[in-house]
Structure 1
Amino acid sequence: MDKKTIREQYLLKRRLLTTEEINAQSEIISKRLLDFLSIRPEIRHIHIFLPIKRFNEVNTFPLFERLQGSGYHLYTSEVNKLEDTLDTFEISEVKEFKLNSWGIPFPIGAVKVEPDKIQLVLIPLLAFDKKGYRIGYGKGYYDKFLSKIADSVWKVGLTFFPPENILPAESHDIGLNYCITPEKIHVFE
């Protein structure tokens, strides 16, 4: 199967989820991540994606609030349309959000920073495989972003669905270290 077909299948699977299912499964995923972090106290700088509601992504807002309340340094990104890349913003103190032109929540008052302090990146995805390769929306923003940060930064996918056996991967695709689903934490190190 090609990437386009896989994207379509997983977008449909997500559309079929109810709000209740999304929130319940997001809570389980968040709990797994918090447990993961509890045994890794050295991780204090986390890049979190903010969910695109129309795509039924994992709801990371409750997780954001818990991490913020626990004193983590939090970051997110926004597409820089001129450079076709992601800009990084610190959001540790942010309390309000507005939707940007893509329908992605953007933190009001966030400060643009370099991503050099980030230790762990939470990554939205449509599908992933048993080797840790993922398929996103096809724009390549996260692959470009991940290629510019340190190799030591942990790449953690969040998704509602289990892995495929194998997905098409290209030389520029950057794999995950972990992927958290409602069922388990998948490890690829």
Structure 2
Amino acid sequence: MANKSTIRKQVLHQRKFLSDDEFLALNQLLLAQFKTLDFSEIASIHVFLPIVKKREPDTFLLIDWLEKNHPEINIIIPKSDFENHSLTHHLYIGRENLEVNEYHIPEPKQEKVYLGNIDMVLVPLLAFDKRGYRVGYGKGFYDRFLSGIKTKKVGISFFGPIDEIIDVHLNDIRLDVCITPDQIYRFGHST
């Protein structure tokens, strides 16, 4: 058991010291697990784009696989508003339409906002616990976003669950599923 601040420091340190080979291997294992999900009822997937500097999972591998194997699925990507800690959502139309913001996050250049339903959200995280709660970077972007929609919430993590995050708040949104390189964890609450 640990609090979010301690967990954040530990996992950022863990990620930083992954070798390039370990990092590449973990990303390939995440992709292999991702491929096993059921996409039959999914028309749109919201995918966070990785902050390379923080060694986040390479979701471009997932996007490339989706485009090749499920071209019927709309891929939605976020753009962050750091003044009010909210996200806008945009159709992914290729890497050439991305730019990196001042926080090193790839974001869409186009301003047209996607307003349709989102069937699945890939949620960034640093760690998650056995109940499906997650530790992010602490700004609440995804908790705000997820509190307003009915969607399947899928975390992506290089590491397995910790026992318990002790400082969970009322507005923290639980994951439905979390993909790790070794397995997929499913949490027993309804969406």
Assess same fold via TM > 0.5.
yes
CA distance in 2 between counterparts of 1:159 and 1:52 reads 14
Secondary structure at the counterpart of residue 68 of structure 1: helix
1:7-156 correspondence to structure 2 within 5 Å: 7-37=8-38, 40-69=39-68, 70-71=70-71, 72-91=73-92, 93-96=93-96, 97-109=98-110, 111-114=112-115, 116-150=116-150, 153-156=151-154
CA drift at 1:55: 0.7
CA drift at 1:110: 6.2
Secondary structure at the counterpart of residue 88 of structure 1: strand
Letter in 2 for 1:159: S
User: Structure 2 stretches of 5 or more lacking a match?
Assistant: none
Bigger drift between 23-32 and 158-167 goes to 23-32
| Greater RCO, CA 8 A, separation 6+ | 2
Letter in 1 for 2:25: A
Secondary structure at the counterpart of residue 117 of structure 1: coil
CA distance in 1 between counterparts of 2:177 and 2:111 reads 28
CA distance in 2 between counterparts of 1:84 and 1:56 reads 22
CA drift at 1:99: 0.7
Matched, 1:184 2:183: yes
Tell me the residue number matched to 1:162.
160
Bigger drift between 18-27 and 105-114 goes to 105-114
Secondary structure at the counterpart of residue 54 of structure 1: helix
Query: Once the two structures are aligned, what percentage of the paired residues are identical?
Result: 37
Give per-residue Cα distances to partners, 1:70-121, cap 9 Å, x unaligned.
3120001111234321111111x3241221121011234463122x410000
CA distance in 1 between counterparts of 2:135 and 2:109 reads 29
Give per-residue Cα distances to partners, 1:36-81, cap 9 Å, x unaligned.
13xx411121000110011111011121112123312000111123
User: Structure 1 stretches of 5 or more lacking a match?
Assistant: none
CA drift at 1:11: 0.6
CA distance in 2 between counterparts of 1:19 and 1:156 reads 25
4+ runs of 1 displaced by more than 6 Å? none
Letter in 2 for 1:14: R
Letter in 1 for 2:125: L
Query: Does the Cα contact within 8 Å between 2:50 and 2:105 map onto a contact in 1?
Result: yes
Tell me the residue number matched to 2:173.
174
Query: Does the Cα contact within 8 Å between 1:90 and 1:110 map onto a contact in 2?
Result: no
Query: Does the Cα contact within 8 Å between 2:79 and 2:108 map onto a contact in 1?
Result: no
What value does the CA root-mean-square deviation take over the aligned residues?
A: 1.4
Secondary structure at the counterpart of residue 66 of structure 1: helix
